[in-house]
Structure 1
Amino acid sequence: MFAAIKQFLRGLPALPTSWQNRVIKDVPLLAVDLELTSLNVNTAKITSVGWVEGKNNSINLSRCFYSVTRAKGDYAQSPVIHGITEEDAAAGMHIREVLKVLCQYADTHLWLCHNASLDLGMLERVFHQTGIDCPDIVYLDTLQLAVYQLKKHHEVLPPNSATLSVCRQRLDLPAAPAHNALDDAMATMQLWFAQNHALNGNREVKIGDLLHTRALSVRKMKKI
């Protein structure tokens, strides 16, 4: 309780006490990515979902998920950008079924997203629309962590300096395929491993130790 009060006074996210002292290398991770028809969380449709599990600098390739999802209406530039057509979507899973599986990770895994406000904002909206009760999600945003690191060296951030591909290049990671939800989820997991090493080296770090970066927070998914 006192830790939460200190966080509030310092303007930091209110991370549940049960998470704060967990050593990051021991925490199961879930990198999640969505492909959308637009960047507007109020109107966009989810065209595909991908995620992958990992832990302690290791990706579990046997625990990957990818599916195109069924959605009605205008697909905007998705056929061009993501290669997903309306015909592909018609054969995909219903988003409700995907979300039922995904929300099972909320209590157990630290979620990794690159641009969490977009992906988790979209998920929050669709969880509400489908009536699925998802627990709150503890997450780390690799984009925000990149911004934290960049601000140590730049008063004004260079254009496009925090995109997933540029963040990977800056940390000498190889180029990765883009615009596929599973590929992007894997690329985000790899980016986190590299960021953690750059920030902490081989030190044993607890989840609460990252609160000052403002890249780690909690997304409330339940309706109030």
Structure 2
Amino acid sequence: MWQSLINWWTPSLALPEKFRTQPWGQIPFLAVDLELTSLDAEQSNILSIGWVQGKASLIPLETCYYKVITTTASLHQSPIIHGLVGQDIEDGEPVRVALEHLLDYAQSHVWVFHCTNLDMSVLTKVYHKLGISLPQLVTVDTLRLALYQLNKAHQIPAPNAATLTSCRQRHNLPLAPAHNALDDALATMELLYAQLRQFDPLGRESFASLMSTGAVKVFQHKPI
């Protein structure tokens, strides 16, 4: 209870010290993207997962990771949207293998999403089903950061203003392939660095200063 009150009253104190005091330019990021069977977190299953690391505005491509996940769930519109068909899913990797590997970055990196609420809701649900306890996680949401920057510029967001493509266009980033987990993770990492350069061109502001944008969250998970 007291920890929750402290986090609400002084949210930056919820950040681990190693992230709180560092300039964002020194923070190791991990952009993560999930391709899902549905946008309903309670019903959705993971079809594929991709991630890539980033630090000091650099994105080393050798850190790219992509796996298709095997599932018996209905694919719904996924073959049309994601290009993943039944044989792809049948040949995929068990979700436990990919998500255990993802945990290697839980405490060393800040995880980056374009819509943290959806992806973290799905990840939390699946980790719980697998009986895996999550450690404390720090995330930053490029969608929330985009809305913050639009509001700060006194611009009323259009209905599609927060899509990954629209956000990239506002920062004059090139068109990127969509609906592939790794492509979207790369596109999200590029967007984050463009947003951070707008927020602080020299990269000297502490990561804690981003708490004011509403884009940073600290997930305090309880053991299963």
Q: TM-score range by the shorter chain?
A: over 0.9
Question: Cα gap change, 1:144/1:58 in structure 2, threshold over 3 Å: closer, same or farther?
Answer: same
Query: What's the offset of the Cα at 1:221?
Result: 3.9
Structure 2 residue identity aligned to 1:191: L
Structure 1 residue identity aligned to 2:118: L
Task: Supply the distance in 1 between the matched residues of 2:150 and 2:126 (Cα, whole angstroms).
Answer: 33
Asked if 1 retains the 8 angstrom alpha-carbon contact of 2:107 and 2:137, the reply is yes
Question: What residue is the counterpart of 2:178 in the other structure?
Answer: 178
Identity of aligned residues (%): 43
Question: What residue is the counterpart of 2:212 in the other structure?
Answer: 212
Asked if 1 retains the 8 angstrom alpha-carbon contact of 2:49 and 2:68, the reply is yes
For 1:7-36, what per-residue CA distance to the aligned partner results, in whole angstroms no more than 9, with x for missing partners?
A: 632667832334211222222110000000
Question: What residue is the counterpart of 1:40 in the other structure?
Answer: 40
Question: What residue is the counterpart of 2:80 in the other structure?
Answer: 80
Asked if 2 retains the 8 angstrom alpha-carbon contact of 1:36 and 1:47, the reply is yes
For 1:182-203, what per-residue CA distance to the aligned partner results, in whole angstroms no more than 9, with x for missing partners?
A: 0000000000110011111114
Task: Supply the distance in 1 between the matched residues of 2:88 and 2:164 (Cα, whole angstroms).
Answer: 26
Structure 2 residue identity aligned to 1:22: Q
Question: What residue is the counterpart of 1:30 in the other structure?
Answer: 30
Question: Cα gap change, 1:204/1:11 in structure 2, threshold over 3 Å: closer, same or farther?
Answer: closer
Question: Cα gap change, 1:64/1:155 in structure 2, threshold over 3 Å: closer, same or farther?
Answer: closer
Question: What residue is the counterpart of 1:106 in the other structure?
Answer: 106
1:117-196 paired onto structure 2 within 5 Å = 117-154=117-154, 156-196=156-196
Query: What's the offset of the Cα at 1:167?
Result: 0.3
Asked if 2 retains the 8 angstrom alpha-carbon contact of 1:13 and 1:211, the reply is no
Q: Secondary structure at the match of 1:83?
A: coil
Structural RMSD (CA): 1.9
Could you state the TM-score of these two structures normalised by the residue count of structure 1?
0.93
Asked if 2 retains the 8 angstrom alpha-carbon contact of 1:49 and 1:67, the reply is yes
List gaps (5 residues or longer) in structure 1: none
Number of residue-to-residue matches in the alignment: 221
Deviation >6 Å, runs of 4+: none
Task: Supply the distance in 1 between the matched residues of 2:89 and 2:156 (Cα, whole angstroms).
Answer: 41
Could you state the TM-score of these two structures normalised by the residue count of structure 2?
0.93
For 1:143-179, what per-residue CA distance to the aligned partner results, in whole angstroms no more than 9, with x for missing partners?
A: 0000000112346421110110000000000000000
Asked if 2 retains the 8 angstrom alpha-carbon contact of 1:13 and 1:218, the reply is no
- Whichever structure has more strand as a proportion of its residues is 1
Task: Supply the distance in 2 between the matched residues of 1:192 and 1:126 (Cα, whole angstroms).
Answer: 26
